Homo-oligomer: A and B are copies of this chain.
Amino acid sequence: MATSDPSLDPARAPGRIAAPPPSSPDGAVAGPLVGATTENAVLSRILPLFQQGAAALLGPGDDAAIVASPDGRTVISMDTLVEDHDFRLVRPNGFRTTGYDVGWKSAAQNLSDINAMGGSATSLVVSLTLPPQTPVDWVEDCARGLAAAIRGLGAAGCSVVGGDLGAGAQLVITAAVTGTLGGRAPVLRSGARPGHLVAVTGMLGRAAAGLAILEDGRPVQDFGPLGEDLVAAQLRPLPPLTAGPAAADAGASAMLDISDGLVRDAGRIATASGVHLDLDPEALLDHADPLRPVARLLGVDPMEWVLGGGEDHGLLATFPQDVLLPPGFTAVGSVRPGSPLVTLASQATALRGWDHFAH
C-alpha cells in the first residue's frame, strides 16, 4: 500500500472526515452539475483517470473493450451499490460519503469476488446512474476512488476498460469484473469436506463496527482513532487480493468472500458442500476483543459484528487438515459431517446476516 500519491491511501480518512470535500452531492457545492452538462463532458473528465492495465487489449472508446484471457477462461462477477441502501451520502451525524469512497468500495467488492475464486482481476466495466443534481466533481472523485482501489489493492494489470453513464433518480453504481485463474482450478463453495479446517483472512467485524459508528448520532471523532479506522474499513474495504490465489495454490477446498457476515457466508459453504461448519468462539474472540472499546461506547456485544457483519471482504476458506495455512489465514473452526449447518461451539446461532430484501 506504500505509495507517494496520497489519493491512493485508503487510510486517508481522518482529514476527510474533518473536512469533507466540496464535492458531496447534497446541493451545498460549487461546480457544474451532471444535469447541466453532457455525457461527453463527463466522460472527458473521468476517462483520463483510468490508466489502462496490461490486460486491457482495447480500452474505452468503442462499442466494447477487449481484455486478455491468457488461459482461455474468464472469471466474471458483478456487484451493485445503491444510494440509501448500500451507502448514504449524508449520515445523521453529518458524515458524508464521498464519491471516492463509493468508487473505492465498488471496485473493492468486485475485485474481492475474483479473489474468492482464486483468480486475479483483469478488468472492470462500470455503470453510473446519476441524479441530475450530482456534481461532476463527485463523479470525478468516484472515478478516482475506482482507480485508487485497483492500484492500492494491488490488482496489477487490471483497469476500468468501459462502462455506461446515465441519469436516474438515485445514485447507482454497478461494476462487472473479469479475472483470470492463471491456469488454476477455481476454488468453489462446494469442496468442503468433514475434517477440513475453516479459516479466515484478516479481522472480522471491523466494517460492521464502522457502520454502527456511522449510524450512531455522535461524530466519528468521538470514537477516537480506532473509530476512524473502523469507519475506513466500512467505506474503503481492503480485500486481500493475493490471499485468494495463494489459498488456491495451497489447496483450499472451498472459498468465498465474507460479504454478508461470517455465519451467513459459512452457511453458503455448508449448503453448497453438504457439510456442517462448527466455529470456534475462542478463536473468534481474537476478532471481537479489539472492537470492545468502540462496542462499549455503542452498548453492543462485538461478537455480533464478528458473526453477523459483512463488507470486510476477507476470505472464508476451508483447507484439508494437513495443509499449512497460507500467510494471512487463521483457523476459526472445523468441518464436520452432517446436514448443512453452522454452529458456534456446537450450539445453534440465530444470526443470519444481510438479505437485500428482508432488511
A residues adjacent to B (C-beta < 8 A): 34-35, 37-40, 42, 57-58, 61-70, 72-80, 82-86, 112-114, 116-117, 119, 123, 125-127, 129-130, 132, 161-170, 172, 174, 176-179, 181, 186, 188-189, 255-257, 272, 355-358
Q: Which of B73, B82, B116 contacts A67 (CB 8 A)?
A: B73
Of chain B, the residue at the smallest CB distance from A260 is B39
Let me know if B73 and A68 touch, CB within 8 A: yes
On chain B, the residues within 8 Å of A68 by CB distance are 72-74
B residues near A80, Cβ cutoff 8 Å:
127, 129, 164, 166, 174
* Chain B residues with CB under 8 A of A37: 357-358
Choose one: B38, B125, B129; the contact of A172 (CB below 8 Å).
B129
Contacts of A130 in B (CB 8 A): 357
Contacts of A85 in B (CB 8 A): 166-168
A90 to chain B, nearest CB (A): 16
The 8 Å CB contact of A42, one of B61, B272, B357, is B357
Given contact pairs A62-B188, A63-B112, A63-B255, enumerate 18 new A-B contacts (beta carbons under 8 Å). A39-B357, A58-B188, A62-B256, A63-B113, A63-B116, A63-B256, A64-B179, A68-B72, A68-B74, A76-B123, A76-B162, A78-B162, A79-B127, A80-B127, A125-B176, A165-B357, A166-B356, A174-B174
Q: Give chain B residues whose Cβ lies under 8 Å from the Cβ of A167.
A: 82, 85, 356-357
- Measured in the bound complex, the distance between the Cα atoms of B81 and A164 in whole Å is 10
Among A113, A164, A189, find the residue whose CB has the most chain B CB atoms closer than 10 A: A164
Q: Which 10 residue pairs are nearest across A and B when measured between Cβ atoms?
A: A69-B69, A176-B176, A64-B77, A63-B116, A174-B174, A82-B168, A78-B125, A63-B113, A80-B127, A74-B74
Q: List residues of chain B with CB within 8 A of the CB of A162.
A: 76-78
Partner of A62 from B63, B65, B67, B189 at Cβ < 8 Å? B189
B75 to A72, Cβ gap below 8 A? no
B73 touches A69 (CB 8 A): yes
Q: Residue of B at shortest CB range from A132?
A: B357
Assess whether A119 is in contact with B75, with CB atoms less than 8 Å apart.
no
Known contacts A70-B72, A113-B63; A129 and B82 CB within 8 A of each other: yes
Q: In whole angstroms, what is the CA distance A37 to B58 when docked?
A: 42
Q: Kindly provide the distance from the CB of A121 to the nearest chain B CB, expressed in whole angstroms.
A: 10
Q: Which residues of the other chain, B, contact A78 by a CB distance below 8 angstroms?
A: 125-127, 162-164, 174, 176
Chain B residues closer than 8 Å to A188, beta-carbon distance: 58, 62
Contact of B166 with A169 in the complex, beta carbons under 8 Å: no
